[in-house]
Amino acid sequence: MTKEKKIAIWLTWLLVWPISFYGLYRYWEPSFQNMMADLFSFAILIGIVALFPLVFKEGPIFLIQGVSLAVFLYFGLFIEVLLTQFGVVFLMIKMRISRQDLYRLPLNMLVFLVTSISGASIYYLMGGQHGSEAYQTLYDIIPILAYALTTFVTNQILIKLLGLFLMKRPFQWIDRATLWEIYTTLLILPVGFVLYRLYADMGLAAVYYVGIPFAFISAMMMLYYKSRQLNSYLQKTSEIGHELTGRLKESEVMDLFISRLVKLLPIDFTYIYDVIDQEQLKMTHFYKAQQQQDIRQFFLEKGESISGVVFQQRKAFQYHRRDQWKKQNWEGIPEEGESLITLPVFRNDEIVSVITVVSKEKRAFEKFQYMIVDILSNYLVIAMENAKNYEETKNQSERCPLTNLYNYRYFEEQLEQTFQIQQNLNRPLSVILLDIDHFKSVNDTYGHQSGNEVICTLADWLVEMIGEKGVVARYGGEEFVIMLPNYNVDESFLLAEEVRSKFASKKIILHEHMLGDKEESLVVTASIGVASYPEHCEQPLELVRHADRAMYMGAKQKGRNKVALYQSNKALTE
């Protein structure tokens, strides 16, 4: 929320609340004679009930409706407003709101003030009374129900509108908090009516007869809500775990982990460190909310900063506010950071990572939420290991172990898929096939190790020249193949000529030759064939065969170190 809105809330409260409170007092002029013990008891009961709120992102629900109903029916509007406002203050103390969230106190006081006045107005319009006369006949239940319904509806409307205009929350009439408000209201209001009837008949003793069970009901409702909340978190955690282990790329696993964690918990900053040689931590990921940020090289030693202490002591920490951990502060954690969870991630009893999450809110994380982060971090380790193994296996099956280029099996699959796409889009596709000239003589003269050096050097040159333009693969032996989407005949021929020219003009340094210890250098040339769709073929594999034919007939047989285009009956050197 902006600073301007917070100021507006405080000014509205200063203008409206004192005047309204004074006006209610002057209109009803309640007498406190012989009532102080009773009012004090009701105030204590409201304060106790406020200790057991149900906390939602839309705001807390505390179960004072029953007590406030009994107070209103017997003592009137002013006393009900007085004790309800006391309950709001007590709730804010229990919630331990931060300094920047102090605006929630006047905001909630205004909401409950308007709610109380709205409900009382309907009650009086329908002829409602106070004291023992509030309920004498069955007909008197009608204004009581109207009061309860009006306060509920008014409260919900105010919450939704304030959430929309002040908090920028999506407008939704029925959400989880609303449903819980309905459930608790239906449960608590009958108890509040019983409290009123007993108080009217028995006096102060009724507050304790009903009030103590009432407080227990509030506590049990909070515990029930927390257990439901925990079960919901555990279910979502299990679902996230299945999602993580189903991802096959390490980048996808990490992005999914962060996105789900941020949606599940009130996290503003996430730091992930990897352990280097069991001696250092290296920050590998930093997220602000859900967006990954660019990071500089950053290392931590054991015992250095918060995450370094976790690494050294091999245990997790949870802090509720900044002053608990600021002694170990690090410049990367923003000044607005308050709550913090940091924990080690183990694999085979060794720490492999440290995860630190930070929230701008004080006491943002509950104990069970720490447990959720711990469970998810273990899922993350398993998922990252699976993804790493998958990528290694996939890489081994797709790439040539010598050059790290794609192998021909992978190239064929990509060629067929790309051909279909280019055909559907009516765009060109070209293939360049090249063969190293006189490669056998290189092996015979310098040895097979030097032959491998030549192949690897040429592979690096090809990757450097082609880059993102296409796909480079090792065709077999001393042959390479290049797929060029969106390259027509002329463009692919020019690129092939650039490749040929570079090969013919650069020296390759040999380190592993068998002629002695001194380095040797040589220049190799290549014969190159080019074929393009749609000019030269109608099927994907025909591109390779035609490029091979052009290379052999138009370049090899014409003297080598040449580039040739395919033609239907013969390959002509260009």
Active site residues per annotation: 478
Work out the widest C-alpha separation in the chain, in whole angstroms: 119
- End-to-end Cα distance, the chain: 70
The strand pair at 563-565 and 526-533 is best described as parallel
Other residues' Cβ atoms within 10 Å of the Cβ of residue 444: 11
Which residue from 387, 390, 407, 388 is spatially nearest to 398, judged by alpha carbons? 407
Cα–Cα distances (Å) from 436 to 404, 465, 526, 555, in that order, read 18, 17, 4, 11
Structure tokens at 131: 């004291």
Which residue from 400, 518, 544, 413 is spatially nearest to 459, judged by alpha carbons? 400
Distance CA 102, CA 125 (A): 36
Spell out the alpha helix ranges (H) of 404-531: 408-425, 439-446, 448-466, 489-505
Using an 8 Å Cβ cutoff, are 160 and 174 in contact?
no
Cα–Cα distances (Å) from 353 to 102, 196, 256, 277, 440, in that order, read 37, 59, 17, 12, 50
Q: Chain-centre distance of CA 419, in angstroms?
A: 38
Distance CA 540, CA 406 (A): 18
Structure tokens at 259: 């996105």
